[in-house]
């Protein structure tokens, strides 16, 4: 019962945050909306007994990624004027149709065909602590873990390389 | 009313669709990127929900990996957007139509 | 001895390869001696095997060399029987003499080694044709001699007429080869093999008369091309563009006789088809007559000899057409000797007269070139059918056999008699205009006798011209007995009684003498008779046959080829290729409109595709 209430409240919060992210004209408001959404999702993780993941969500996503986003928004500057761009007429209508269609398709697929099981919530035996995850991670999925280490390193290097990118190669274009 | 995993999955589907709508409808590169992040989050939610339903911890491990990759991707993506902005002083995606064939 | 017979084909082939690869380095006289050496060695190897066949101590055999196309039963094997031995002796013997002659004749030519390489290759191909034990191997030799004749006729290819003559020879030969090839197909379809032994043994039992007629008619088409009968004789006069020793070897003694040889080889099949025999005899006689009529008015000494070759080939074809295979082959042998002698002698005259070939500018050469004069005299008498030279015996045997067949063949005999008269006449004309009478050459020409390398072959051939007839006189048919084993299964023509033969021979002799006297009388006057009448002009122009072919066959062919080049190739084929290109480019332009460069457009496409795919998977997977 309690979980249901928590779920409803925070699901609503997530949806509101998502919608506001899509529809706000000021990019800073969009970022705020997304942040809210992420916090809500973290709570939902806790409901699902995924405590470690919830913590990581807050620390990494809400704490690092969104902060980075906000930094870049501040750096680049906000441009309210071209919030929605429409090239094709009825673009918003078609997008709505596509989005709704996608939702329907996934819902049907998710529930009707692909994910089958007990449909129960909170199967006992699921241990979402850091310890359990670490056991899996450094045991079976060691290679994948090391690959992600490499991935992060490469990303960092790439970012630094891009930082040294000085600007438009006007010299080459002018030839 | 008891919770079933279906609710979580439906919520994830809804968040995903909203993310798709955001990608298609916004012109600002940063907001597009944030919509993509939303989509990733929805996927994460699905992973964790199903891991709860099946009682397996692998779902959460997968969610962890997704987060790692998303973080790396955000880093590079934002660096690219900054670099692009430096040359064009506009974050309008529609103007990056150099691949027009 | 017969183990070494494969060398008879291999040695000249080897010689050809050496001269082709290293000829330039070997240089002038040595490459000629090398060529002569290989052919002479081949002759020497064949002699003991031939002698043992002649003496009767050896029997005909098939020598298997190696397997070529097992699927159709075509092996490379040598059939060594009297007929093959005879042809081998002729080809390698006369071939060696002509090699010797060429060493002197071609001196100074810049492609000297190449000449001997081709000559050796020709001998090797002719040997392959003659020694073949099955039709497939014979066909290889057949085609190769055609190729070699092309190479040798157009040896001086920088002269446009020589190049054109070589092309003409090859193409006209090819038309005949088509007939040969279709005949081979029918042979294989009927017998399942190409082997001579198998075919001739089972011939009468396996195929019907109709099939045999078809096969033999098509084989005869091949012979018509190769042995220059009507209507495919037109290449032989043009082939005189080649060097004179080449004319002697290829167009007098050996290659043109390949057709007659092939008919003799296939005697069993020809005996099964009397219709073909009649056709062959009629074509042979008609060719003999037409060629003799044309030879009368020719002024170029080599052209006279060319048409005379066609005429004598007509005789040989007549001989095998009436079933007298040994008579035809006998005339082949004697003709090889005296015609080669005539050509080499003509070459000697041309050489001495500094490449003058028009007989109207000769005359009175008897004193200047005695050896040539005497040997050519012997050949002249032989070809005219004078007793006791070789030509008399062989020609009379053919005419006697024709008469003996009776019925309509007597008409052919009469025409043969007329041709004998004409032959004597025009050969006398040639001889008298060249050697007798007043000298008609200009001051700066100094005729002299030819060097020994050229006169020795003349003398040797002269000896055979005189004596070769005696192997087959009616009192001692040694030649016919020798060839008997080659013609097993062929019904023997009832020999004429000695009295009848003598009577017929006497008639021929009278006719020939009349021809000689008439010719001598007409041409040994002080001034040459003007040959201006309509008959003379038409004959000189060979009755316009070449023009006729040009109008009816060559011109439409050229039109068709122009149409193919301009319309088909340029417009249709090139147009299609370009059209495909521009079509694809147009399609590309249409498809390029999808590449807007807009990221959101692409993303939208992905989203829509995702939805569609999920739905498809649901429906197909049976979830819904």
Question: DSSP assignment, residue C450?
Answer: P
Q: Between A and B, how many CB-CB pairs are < 8 A?
A: 248
User: Considering only alpha carbons, which residue of chain B is nearest residue C589?
Assistant: B101
**Subunits close to A (at least 3 CB pairs below 8 A):** B, C
Q: Is C234 domain-assigned?
A: no
Q: Is C194 domain-assigned?
A: no
Q: Is C90 domain-assigned?
A: no
Q: Are B4 and A119 in contact (CB under 8 A)?
A: yes
Q: Is A124 domain-assigned?
A: no
State residue A129's pLDDT score.
82
Of B7, B19, B45, the CB nearest to A41: B45
Q: Alpha-carbon distance C190 to C208, whole Å? A: 10
Q: What is the pTM of this model?
A: 0.67
| Tally of structural domains, chain C | 1
User: Considering only alpha carbons, which residue of chain C is nearest residue B18?
Assistant: C607
| Domain range for A144 | 129-175
Q: Indicate if the pLDDT at residue C599 is higher than 90.
A: no
Over residues C449-475, the mean pLDDT reads 79
The answer for residues whose C-beta is within 8 angstroms of residue C80's C-beta and 6 or more apart is C2, C5, C49, C53, C60, C61, C62, C63, C131
Which of C86, C76, C83 is CA-nearest to residue C6? C76
Over residues C456-480, the mean pLDDT reads 77
Report in angstroms the alpha-carbon separations of C490 from C53, C88, C313, C484, C487.
Answer: 20, 22, 22, 9, 6
Is the Cβ of A22 closer than 8 Å to some Cβ of chain C?
A: no
Q: Is A103 domain-assigned?
A: no
Is the Cβ of A109 closer than 8 Å to some Cβ of chain C?
A: yes
Q: Alpha-carbon distance B96 to B88, whole Å? A: 9
Q: Do B96 and C599 touch (CB under 8 A)?
A: yes
Of B25, B32, B100, the CB nearest to C596: B100
Q: Is C58 domain-assigned?
A: no
Residues A73 and A138 in one domain: no
Q: Do C598 and A106 touch (CB under 8 A)?
A: no
The pLDDT-based confidence of C22 (bands split at 50, 70, 90) is confident
Question: DSSP assignment, residue C144?
Answer: H
Q: Is C255 domain-assigned?
A: no
Over residues C280-285, the mean pLDDT reads 91
Q: Do C624 and A87 touch (CB under 8 A)?
A: no
Angle of helix C257-265 relative to helix C135-153, nearest 10 degrees, comes to 170
Per CB-CB distance under 8 Å, the chain B contacts of C597 are: 96-101
State residue A119's pLDDT score.
59
State residue A143's pLDDT score.
93
Q: Indicate if the pLDDT at residue B34 is higher than 60.
A: yes
State residue A174's pLDDT score.
41
Is the Cβ of B66 closer than 8 Å to some Cβ of chain A?
A: no
Return the top range by mean pLDDT from B49-63, C434-448, C457-471.
Answer: B49-63
Query: How distant is the Cα of B49 from the closest Cα of chain C, in angstroms?
Result: 21
ipTM of the complex, rounded to two decimals: 0.89
Q: Alpha-carbon distance C536 to C516, whole Å? A: 19
Is the Cβ of C617 closer than 8 Å to some Cβ of chain A?
A: yes
Q: Indicate if the pLDDT at residue C478 is higher than 60.
A: yes
State residue C573's pLDDT score.
80
Is the Cβ of C607 closer than 8 Å to some Cβ of chain B?
A: yes
Q: Do A112 and C604 touch (CB under 8 A)?
A: no
Per CB-CB distance under 8 Å, the chain C contacts of B24 are: 600, 603-604, 607
The pLDDT-based confidence of C225 (bands split at 50, 70, 90) is confident
Angle of helix C135-153 relative to helix C112-130, nearest 10 degrees, comes to 160
Q: Is A87 domain-assigned?
A: no
b/e A16-45 (16+ beta carbons within 10 angstroms → b): ebbbbbbbbbebeebbbbbbbbbbbbbbbb
> Could you read off the pLDDT of C111-123 as tens digits, one per residue?
888 899 999 999 9
Q: Is A164 domain-assigned?
A: yes
State residue C622's pLDDT score.
67
Q: Do A37 and B91 touch (CB under 8 A)?
A: no
State residue C488's pLDDT score.
67
The answer for residues whose C-beta is within 8 angstroms of residue C569's C-beta and 6 or more apart is none
Over residues C310-336, the mean pLDDT reads 88
Per DSSP bridges, beta strands C61-69 and C74-80 are antiparallel
Q: Alpha-carbon distance C605 to C622, whole Å? A: 26
Q: Do C614 and A109 touch (CB under 8 A)?
A: yes
Over residues C600-619, the mean pLDDT reads 86
Q: What dihedral angle (degrees, nearest 10) is formed by the CA atoms of A111, A113, A118, A123?
A: -60
Q: Do B24 and C596 touch (CB under 8 A)?
A: no
> Whose structure tokens read 């806790």?
A46
State residue A123's pLDDT score.
61
Q: Is C516 domain-assigned?
A: yes
B-contacting residues in A 75-104 (Cβ below 8 Å): 75-76, 79, 82-85, 87, 91-92, 95-96, 98-100, 102-103
State residue A114's pLDDT score.
57
Q: Is C99 domain-assigned?
A: no
- Check which CATH number belongs to the domain holding A72 and give it: 1.20.120.1200
Of B10, B27, B86, the CB nearest to A167: B86
| Start-to-end CA span in chain A (Å) | 71
Over residues C311-340, the mean pLDDT reads 88
Flag the least confident range among C94-108, C441-455, C600-614: C441-455
Of A101, A102, A113, the CB nearest to C623: A113
Q: Do C595 and B96 touch (CB under 8 A)?
A: no
Q: Is A121 domain-assigned?
A: no
Return the top range by mean pLDDT from A28-37, C184-193, C230-239, C440-449.
Answer: A28-37
Average pLDDT, chain B: 86
Read off φ and ψ for residue C602, nearest 5 degrees. Answer: -60, -45
Of C598, C607, C618, the CB nearest to A113: C618
> Could you read off the pLDDT of C393-425 as tens digits, one per residue?
888 888 888 887 777 788 888 898 899 989 998
State residue A168's pLDDT score.
52
Residue ranges, chain A, pLDDT below 70:
77-90, 111-125, 165-175
State residue A173's pLDDT score.
44
Average pLDDT, chain C: 84
The pLDDT-based confidence of B84 (bands split at 50, 70, 90) is confident
| Tally of structural domains, chain A | 2
Q: What DSSP string describes C164-214?
A: HHHHHHHHHHHHHHHHHHHHHHHHHHHHS--BHHHHHHHHHHHS-HHHHHH
The answer for residues whose C-beta is within 8 angstroms of residue C611's C-beta and 6 or more apart is A98, A101, A102, A105
Q: Indicate if the pLDDT at residue C216 is higher than 70.
A: yes
The answer for residues whose C-beta is within 8 angstroms of residue C400's C-beta and 6 or more apart is C327, C496, C500, C501, C504, C505
Q: Is A117 domain-assigned?
A: no
State residue B39's pLDDT score.
95
State residue B48's pLDDT score.
92
Q: Indicate if the pLDDT at residue C485 is higher than 60.
A: yes
Q: Do B5 and A119 touch (CB under 8 A)?
A: yes
Spell out the domains of chain B, with CATH numbers in brackets: 5-91 (1.10.287.3510)
* SS3 assignment, position A48: coil
Percentage of residues in chain C having pLDDT higher than 70: 96
Q: Do A102 and C604 touch (CB under 8 A)?
A: no
Q: Alpha-carbon distance C204 to C194, whole Å? A: 16
Question: Assign residue A4 a region: left if phi > 0, alpha if psi is -120 to 50, beta otherwise?
Answer: alpha
User: Considering only alpha carbons, which residue of chain A is nearest residue C614?
Assistant: A105
Of B21, B55, B57, the CB nearest to A95: B21
* SS3 assignment, position A84: strand
Q: Do C618 and A112 touch (CB under 8 A)?
A: yes
Q: Is C365 domain-assigned?
A: yes
Q: Are A85 and B92 in contact (CB under 8 A)?
A: yes
Last residue of a domain, one of A78, A94, A116: A78
| Domain range for C522 | 293-539
User: Considering only alpha carbons, which residue of chain A is nearest residue C616?
Assistant: A105
State residue A172's pLDDT score.
44
Of A87, A95, A108, the CB nearest to C624: A108
Per CB-CB distance under 8 Å, the chain A contacts of C611 are: 98, 101-102, 105
Which of C305, C262, C319, C339 is CA-nearest to residue C94? C339
């Amino acid at each position: 019962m309690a979980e249901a209430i928590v779920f409803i409240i925070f699901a609503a919060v997530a949806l509101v945050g998502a919608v506001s992210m899509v529809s706000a004209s000021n990019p800073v408001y969009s970022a705020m909306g997304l942040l809210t959404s992420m916090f809500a999702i973290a709570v939902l993780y806790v409901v699902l007994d995924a405590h470690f993941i919830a913590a990581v969500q807050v620390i990494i996503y809400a704490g690092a990624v969104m902060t980075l986003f906000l930094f870049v928004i501040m750096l680049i500057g906000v441009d309210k004027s071209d919030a929605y761009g429409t090239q094709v007429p009825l673009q918003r209508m078609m997008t709505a149709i596509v989005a709704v269609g996608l939702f329907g398709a996934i819902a049907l697929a998710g529930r009707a065909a692909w994910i089958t099981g007990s449909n129960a919530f909170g199967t006992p035996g699921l241990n979402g602590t850091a310890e359990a995850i670490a056991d899996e991670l450094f045991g079976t999925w060691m290679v994948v873990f090391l690959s992600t280490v490499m991935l992060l390193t490469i990303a960092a290097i790439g970012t630094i390389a891009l930082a040294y990118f000085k600007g438009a190669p006007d010299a080459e274009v002018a030839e | 009313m008891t919770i079933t995993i279906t609710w979580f999955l439906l919520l994830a589907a809804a968040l995903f669709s909203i993310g798709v709508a955001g990608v298609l409808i916004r012109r600002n590169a940063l907001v597009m990127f944030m919509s993509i992040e939303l989509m990733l989050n929805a996927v994460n939610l699905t992973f964790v929900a199903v891991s709860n339903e099946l009682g397996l911890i692998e779902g959460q491990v997968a969610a962890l990996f997704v987060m790692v990759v998303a973080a790396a991707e955000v880093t590079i993506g934002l660096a690219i957007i900054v670099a692009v902005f430096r040359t064009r002083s506009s974050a309008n995606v529609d103007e990056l139509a150099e691949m027009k064939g | 001895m017969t183990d070494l017979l494969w060398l008879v084909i291999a040695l000249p082939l080897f010689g050809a390869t050496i001269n082709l690869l290293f000829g330039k380095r070997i240089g002038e006289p040595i490459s000629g001696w090398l060529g002569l050496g290989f052919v002479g060695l081949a002759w020497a190897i064949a002699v003991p095997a031939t002698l043992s066949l002649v003496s009767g101590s050896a029997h005909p055999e098939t020598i298997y060399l190696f397997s070529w196309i097992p699927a159709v039963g075509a092996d490379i094997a040598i059939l060594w029987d009297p007929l093959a031995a005879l042809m081998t002796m002729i080809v390698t013997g006369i071939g060696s003499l002509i090699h010797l002659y060429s060493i002197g004749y071609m001196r100074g030519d810049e492609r000297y080694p190449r000449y001997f390489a081709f000559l050796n290759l020709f001998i090797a191909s002719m040997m392959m044709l003659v020694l073949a034990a099955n039709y497939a191997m014979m066909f290889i030799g057949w085609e190769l001699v055609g190729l070699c004749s092309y190479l040798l006729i157009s040896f001086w290819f920088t002269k446009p007429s020589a190049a054109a003559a070589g092309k003409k020879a090859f193409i006209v030969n090819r038309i005949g080869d088509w007939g040969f090839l279709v005949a081979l197909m029918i042979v294989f379809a009927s017998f399942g093999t190409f082997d001579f032994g198998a075919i001739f043994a089972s011939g009468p039992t396996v195929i019907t008369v109709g099939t045999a007629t078809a096969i033999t008619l098509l084989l005869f088409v091949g012979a018509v091309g190769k042995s220059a009968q009507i209507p495919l004789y037109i290449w032989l006069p043009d082939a005189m563009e080649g060097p004179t020793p080449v004319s002697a070897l290829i167009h007098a003694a050996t290659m043109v006789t390949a057709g007659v040889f092939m008919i003799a080889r296939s005697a069993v099949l020809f005996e099964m088809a009397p219709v073909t025999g009649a056709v062959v005899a009629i074509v042979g006689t008609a060719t003999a007559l037409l060629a003799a009529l044309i030879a009368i008015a020719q002024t170029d000494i080599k052209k006279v000899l060319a048409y005379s070759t066609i005429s004598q080939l007509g005789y040989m074809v007549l001989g095998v057409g009436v079933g007298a295979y040994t008579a035809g082959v006998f005339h082949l042998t004697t003709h090889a000797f005296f015609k080669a002698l005539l050509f080499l002698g003509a070459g000697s005259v041309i050489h001495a007269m500094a490449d003058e070939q028009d007989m109207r500018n000769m005359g009175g050469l008897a004193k200047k070139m005695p050896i040539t004069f005497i040997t050519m005299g012997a050949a002249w008498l032989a070809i005219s059918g004078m007793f006791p030279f070789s030509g008399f015996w062989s020609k009379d045997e053919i005419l006697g056999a024709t008469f003996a067949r009776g019925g309509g063949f007597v008409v052919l005999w009469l025409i043969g008699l007329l041709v004998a008269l004409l032959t004597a006449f025009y050969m006398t004309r040639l001889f008298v205009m060249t050697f007798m009478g007043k000298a008609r050459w200009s001051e700066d020409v100094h005729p002299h006798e030819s060097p020994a390398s050229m006169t020795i072959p003349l003398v040797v051939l002269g000896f055979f011209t005189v004596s070769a007839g005696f192997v087959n006189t009616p009192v001692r048919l040694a030649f016919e007995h020798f060839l008997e084993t080659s013609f097993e299964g062929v019904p023997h023509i009832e020999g004429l009684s000695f009295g009848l033969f003598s009577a017929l021979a006497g008639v021929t002799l009278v006719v020939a003498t009349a021809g000689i006297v008439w010719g001598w009388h007409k041409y040994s006057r002080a001034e040459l008779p003007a040959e201006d009448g309509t008959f003379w002009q038409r004959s000189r122009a060979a009755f316009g046959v070449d023009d006729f072919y040009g109008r009816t066959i060559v011109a439409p062919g050229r039109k068709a080829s122009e149409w193919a080049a301009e319309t088909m190739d340029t417009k249709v084929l090139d147009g299609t290729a370009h059209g495909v290109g521009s079509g694809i480019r147009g399609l590309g332009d249409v498809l390029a409109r999808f590449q807007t460069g807009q990221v959101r457009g692409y993303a939208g496409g992905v989203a829509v595709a995702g939805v569609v795919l999920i739905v498809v998977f649901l429906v197909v997977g049976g979830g819904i």
